């Protein structure tokens, strides 16, 4: 298994997973804000 930081171009795939597994998923905007804040 290999882990890496996700990038802005990963957001659509991450959004699909997020929507499937969480009752109150983060939006792509939430993830983008996190990326821009280096979290």
Confirm whether 2 is domain-assigned.
no
Q: Is the whole-model pTM more than 0.75? A: no
Question: What token pair was written down for 18?
Answer: 């997020």
Number of structural domains in the chain: 1
pLDDT of residue 17: 95
The CA-atom distances, in angstroms, between 11 and each of 26, 31 are: 11, 7
DSSP state of 9: G
Per-block mean pLDDT, blocks of 10 residues, the chain (39 long): 88 94 95 87
Domain that holds residue 32: 7-39
Q: CA-CA distance, 39 to 22, in Å (whole number)?
A: 20
pLDDT of residue 5: 85
Confirm whether 1 is domain-assigned.
no
Helices (H), the chain: 11-21, 28-36
Sign of CA dihedral 17, 6, 31, 8: negative
């Amino acid at each position: 298994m290999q882990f890496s930081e996700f990038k802005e171009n990963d957001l659509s795939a991450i959004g699909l997973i997020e929507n499937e597994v969480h009752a109150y998923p983060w939006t792509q905007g939430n993830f983008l804000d996190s990326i821009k804040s280096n979290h």
